[in-house]
Every structure is written in C-alpha cells, then in structure tokens.
Amino acid sequence: MSTSLARGWETVIGLETHAQLSTRSKIFSSASTAFGAPPNTQASVIDLALPGVLPVLNRGAVERAIRFGLAIGAKISPRSIFARKNYFYPDLPKNYQISQYEIPVVQGGTVAIRVGETEKVVNLTRAHLEEDAGKSLHEDFQGMSGIDLNRAGTPLLEIVSEPELRSSAEAVAYAKTLHALVRWIGICDGNMQEGSFRCDANVSVRRIGDPKLGTRCEIKNLNSFRFLERAIEYEIARQIDLIEDGGHVVQETRLYDPDRDETRPMRSKEDAQDYRYFPDPDLLPLEIQPAWIEEVKRAMPELPQAMRERFVTQYGLTPYDAATLTASREMADYFEAMVATLPKEPKLCANWLMGEVSARLNREDVELEAAPVKPQSLAGLLARIADGTLSGKMAREVFDAMWAGEGEADAIIEARGLRQISDAGAIEKIIDEVLAANPKSVEEFRAGKEKAFNALVGQAMKATKGKANPAQVNEILKKKLAGG
Amino acid sequence: MALTLDDVARIAHLARIEITDEEARRTLSQLNDIFALIEKMQAVDTSGVEPMAHPLGGAQRLRADEATEVIDRAAALRNAPAQQDGLFLVPKVIE
C-alpha cells in the first residue's frame, strides 16, 4: 500500500465473496451437501440436469440469506428474482447457473473493519443466492477430464462489496471480518480449505486525485487470506508498472499462482463472457414476508460489534481486549462462561484466555472448542488467584496440570500442596529469619542499592519453596527495612 | 435496430449451435422480424408498471431443508459415454 501511494497511485478494490451456506440439502434439490462423499453420490436428478426436472427452493438457504442481511443492516428485498446465467462448462450440467441478477435478496448494508487503530465502514452492494457448480478433475483419465457433480447445486451467498477498499490490508481486514461474521451467525462453516469461503478481487489503480476509475482486473478464487493479500499486492504493482511504461490495463479475469506469486490471465479477450441473464422460468419470484424477517431477527445471536461494546461497558475491558475476545463466537462464549462462574474478575478471565489459553492453543494447534480445560474449570483456577491461594506462577503450574487432564484446580492444589502462604504472621517470621541471615544485603539496601531488595525477596521465596504470596513478601519486607 | 450476419454468428456461437450460411441468412431475417415486433412493444409507455418476472402469478414455494434424496450413482452414470472411478469423463478441459 505504502509503496503504491509513494508512487502517486491509489488502489481501488472491491471483493466478491462466495460463502457456502451451511444447509443440510442443496439449494434446489434434496440431495445432501456433506463434504467429501465419493464422487457423484450426492448428485440428484436435479443436480444432474436430467430433462423434465424442476428446481424447488430450499427454505434454509433463504433463511440464512435473511440472517446475513439482518447482520449487516441491509434491506431484505420483499421480492427477488432468480435468473439464469448462461455459460458452457462440463461441471455445469444445465449449461446455466441459477443465480440472482436484477433483484437480489439482500441489498446494501455495511461491514465495519479495523486496520491497526483505524476503523472503516465498508458499504456492501448486495448479496444474492445462487448455486455452486460441480468439480472438474484434470488428473489423467485417459487424456480426459473427470466430472464430480456432488458440489453442483450447493447453496452459495455471493456477497459483493462496493469498490471502497484502498489497500490489500483493507481487503484482508474486510474478508476476515466477513469470515468471522458468517461463522458467528451460523450461516457458513468458513472452511477455506474445503472452499466454503472464497474471494474474487476486483483491482484497479488510478493517479491520486483522479476522479475516474482505472480499468479493473478480476482475480478469481482466492481461498486464503494470505493469497488474497499476495495476489492484490502483485496485481497493484503489475498495473502500475504497465501504465508507467506507457501501456494500459486490459479488463480481464486473472488467476493467482501461489507457487510463482503472480497473477496471470485466465481467459483470452476474444472469449469475453456474455452470460445473457434472463429470469428463470422454472422459478417464481421469491417473496419474503415481514413476519418471516421478524421471526429470523428474534432468533439472531448478539452480533460481534454489539458484544464488543457491551464487553467494554459491562466488564470494563479495553476496546482492544473486547475486540480480541469477540473475534470468534467460540472465544466470546468461552469468556462469558468464565465470567459467569467468576463474575468479579472479568479482567483476570480476559487476560488468561488471551494469554495462557491462546498461547497453548497456538502451540498445540488446537481449536478452542477442543481445549481440554473448560471455561468453568479455568474460572475455578482463577478464583484461587483472586482469593490469594495461588501466585501467578503457581497458577500456571496448576494450569499445566489441568491441561494434561489431572482434574480440577482445587484437587491439584491439594494433591501437590501448592497452597500459597498468605498468613502475614508466617511470612513475617520467615522474613525475620531472612534478614538475620543476610546482614550484608540489608546493609547494601540501606546504602541505596535497589537490587539488594530483590535478592532478599528471592531468599524469602526460596525459604518457602515459592509458596509465599509475593505481594505480601514485598510489602512486609519494605515495612521491616523501613522500620528497622 | 437491425441485426447483422455477424450478430447471428455470435449468438449461434454463444449457444454452441452450428449453422450454415444459408441458415444464418434465414435466421437473420426471422430475428429481425422478432426485433421489429419488440420495437413496437417498446413504444408502449410502461412507466410505473413493475416488470414481470414470470407469466404465472404467485410466489415461489419453499421446501424444508432436509436431505432426503437417495442417489443411484450407477443409474446416473449409465448414460455417460465415458466414466471412471464414479466420475463422468469428458474431453479434456484446458484451463
């Protein structure tokens, strides 16, 4: 971004995102949508496009589109139209894709993204329902291509942003926010390896200050955030180089090759697509009554943005912590389950979840749902920090044991004798002994050497095998040294 | 607006229909007749009329989201000119 700006160019990016909707059955047939089945075992007569069959729209797919529309504050169109998008490809057996064209089900809406400290509201153009195509396999089948139609007819929501993104970083932030949102509202599993969430990026450049948009290229099928970023970066540099060298950008579809880290044209210009959209005579207009929208609204979960604001006001968390905790619904649910058990310590809960637990999950490459320590158990451990039974260091030892499956915090504390010494009398006695045994350190401290203080704390901790409450040790030691 | 023979060739190509020059000429005159008819209809003032999406009234019926279909793959593949490992085989698609 900075390099193109420095060269006097502005980047204009719009994203088209395909989110596979998490329905059990396909958008127009009752075949299963489960991933990974043997080829062509989930392709019904409708998905195979046999003559005489008719599509019947899946209520679950429409409901998910409504949920998305509500989540981004869009207009849910009371009437929308399915259209045929005509093109020939072997994995599209009807020779047209059923999509929505002139009147989509979701219109407008906004998504708030964050890049560094800056928040930006991105306007959406639309989101429409359509069906996915099958899969072509180009490995060698006697010099032919293999066609698996299991994916044909899988419901997709194509989400189109306005061309308001100005850098690859903004594009990635937008895609990540959208990814978190569709998972949050339960309309898409977000599995990018399986292609459940993929982006096409429309990229163009123009001289800073030029009101006219440059010619755009569309980079298709970016199925990771990293590829999205790399592909856009490459494309920006390519277009600027081209124009600065006196050439001009040709509007075309390009593919990103991650191995060579470059984009290259997918189709030649002569073959420019002409999809000849027209309303599908097999499907009547989709009508959505206000009562249905109300019903969906009542079943909506609290949205991440609202939850983030609530975490700040209700629990006194910083906006940064609140944003981290609401990055996924799993994280937010885990946090709230902890706080429900330990209502007085939201900050402590947040710190442990974002610190110890997240580090542990990263290290072991485990998802939060699969974490061996449940939120109530973790809250049980934190309660022992809050009441002074454990120091932070001891708590980490107990946490490790809990993670290894040794049971609840209290049982581990008991079994390992980890109870922290918080009895002021006992600590005073130990400190008296330490002071008597280390006259040299005491002298040094009085002479102004701060380090000597730490040495004395260390001695006291050592004498108690690390079990003394460090805060109390500090306090009592300070008092004794000042008073003596 | 009148079409040309090039338009006819392009439309035929888009639909993957092979036509002879003679057929193209005949189709051109038929299509131009249809276009003349459409031009007449376009002269009618339709402002304020919602465009019709379907000749039948009413709204799309919806089905419950249930995966009930039992698939007979062998039957589906029976008509395929070529198949292997449960896949339909087609002439190599060049990317």
Q: What is the pLDDT of residue A484?
A: 53
Mean pLDDT within A214-232 = 95
Where is average pLDDT lowest: A348-362, A402-416, A439-453?
A439-453
3-state helix, strand, coil in chain B (%, to 5): 40, 10, 50
Give the Cα separation of A332 and A325 in Å (integer). Answer: 5
Question: What distance in Å separates the CA atoms of residue A482 and residue A476, rounded to the nearest whole number?
Answer: 10
d(CA A127, CA A107): 7
For residues B52 and B54, what is the distance between their CA atoms, to the nearest angstrom? 6
Helix (H, G, I), strand (E, B) or coil at A87: coil
Categorise residue A261: left if φ over 0, alpha if ψ from -120 to 50, beta otherwise.
Answer: left
Question: How far off is chain A from B64, nearest CA to CA, in Å?
Answer: 6
What's the rounded Cα separation, in Å, for the pair A166 and A189?
28
What is the DSSP code (8-state) at residue B68?
A: -
CA A479 to chain centre: 50
For residue A64 the two structure tokens come to 């998910």
> What's the confidence (pLDDT) of residue A269?
45
**pLDDT of A76 above 60:** yes
pLDDT exceeds 90 at position A399 = yes
How buried is A26 (Cβ within 10 angstroms: 0-12 exposed, 13-18 middle, 19+ buried)? buried
Q: Tell me which DSSP letter residue A218 carries.
A: E
CB within 8 Å: B62 and A141: no
Q: So what's the pLDDT on residue A142? A: 80
What are the backbone angles phi and psi of residue A380, rounded to the nearest 5°?
Answer: -60, -40
- Which residue of B56, B62, B69 is in closest CB contact with A62? B62
Question: Residue A420 — very low, low, confident or very high, per pLDDT cuts 50/70/90?
Answer: confident
Radius of gyration of chain A (CA): 30
Neighbours of A468 (CB within 10 A): 24
Q: What is the pLDDT of residues A99-154, one digit of tens each?
A: 999 999 999 999 999 898 888 999 999 999 999 999 999 877 888 999 999 999 99
* Chain B nearest CA to A95, separation (Å): 9
pLDDT tens per residue across span A157-173 = 999 999 999 999 999 99
A214 pLDDT exceeds 90?
Answer: yes
* pLDDT class of A268 with cuts at 50, 70, 90: low
Give the mean pLDDT of A191-197. Answer: 93
- What's the pLDDT score for residue B93? 78
Q: How confident is the model at residue A271 (pLDDT cuts 50, 70, 90)?
A: low
Mutual angle of helices A424-437 and A470-483, in 10-degree steps: 60
Dihedral sign (CA A444, A445, A449, A450) = positive
Residue of B nearest to A62 (CA): B62
Query: In the predicted model, what is the mean pLDDT of residues A40-44?
Result: 96
Mean pLDDT, rounded, for A177-204: 96
Q: Is residue A301 over pLDDT 70?
A: yes
Which of B:8-47 have CB within 8 Å of A? 14, 16
Q: What is the ipTM of this complex?
A: 0.92
Which residues 6+ apart lie within 8 Å of A266 measured at CB?
Answer: A220, A252, A253, A254, A255, B95
Pairwise CA distance, residues A156 & A68, whole Å: 12
With CA atoms as reference, the chain B residue closest to A48 would be B76
> At CB < 8 A and 24+ separation, what contacts does B11-16 make?
B14/A86, B14/A274, B14/A276, B16/A88
Nearest to A251 by CA among A271, A237, A233: A271
Residue-wise pLDDT for A13-37, tens only, equals 999 999 999 999 999 999 999 999 9
Best probe of the B interface among A26, A27, A44, by most B CBs < 10 A, is A44
Residue A31 has its nearest CB partner, among B56, B59, B67, at B67
CB A14 within 8 A of CB A165: yes
Would the CB atoms of A30 and B67 count as touching at under 8 Å? yes
3-state percent helix, strand, coil for chain A, nearest multiple of 5: 40, 20, 35
- Phi/psi for A421 (5° steps) reads -85, 110
As a whole number, mean pLDDT of residues A470-477 equals 88
Domain chopping of chain B, boundaries: 19-44
**Residue A309 pLDDT class (50, 70, 90 cuts):** very high
Q: How far is CA A453 from CA A236, A393, A403, A423, A427, in A?
A: 58, 20, 35, 21, 16
CB contact under 8 Å between B85 and A146, yes or no, is yes
Contacts A–B by Cβ distance under 8 A: 131
Mean pLDDT across chain A? 92
Which residues on B lie below 8 Å from A287 (Cβ)? 59-60
Q: Which residue in chain B has the smallest CA separation from A155? A: B65
Residues 6+ apart with CB under 8 A from A429: none
CB contact under 8 A, B86 and A41: yes
Which residue from A161, A267, A175, A183 is spatially nearest to A219, judged by alpha carbons? A267
Instruction: Give the mean pLDDT of B20-32.
Output: 95
Mean pLDDT lowest for which of A19-28, A216-225, A447-456?
Answer: A447-456
Q: Could you give the CA distance from residue A71 to residue A64 in angstroms, rounded to a whole number?
A: 10
The burial class, CB within 10 Å (0-12 / 13-18 / 19+), for A267 is middle
Which helix H or strand E contains A147, and what residues bound it?
A: strand A144-148
CB atoms within 10 A of CB A188: 25
DSSP annotation of A163 reads: S
Q: Return the half-sphere exposure (C-beta side, CA atoms, 13 A cut-off) of residue B81.
A: 5
d(CA A347, CA A411): 25
Q: Which is more confident, B39 or A117?
A: B39
**Average pLDDT, stretch A274-296?**
96
Q: Which residue has the tokens 């003596």?
A: A484
pLDDT at A226: 96
What is d(CA A422, CA A67) in angstroms, rounded to the nearest whole number? 53
pTM over 0.90: no
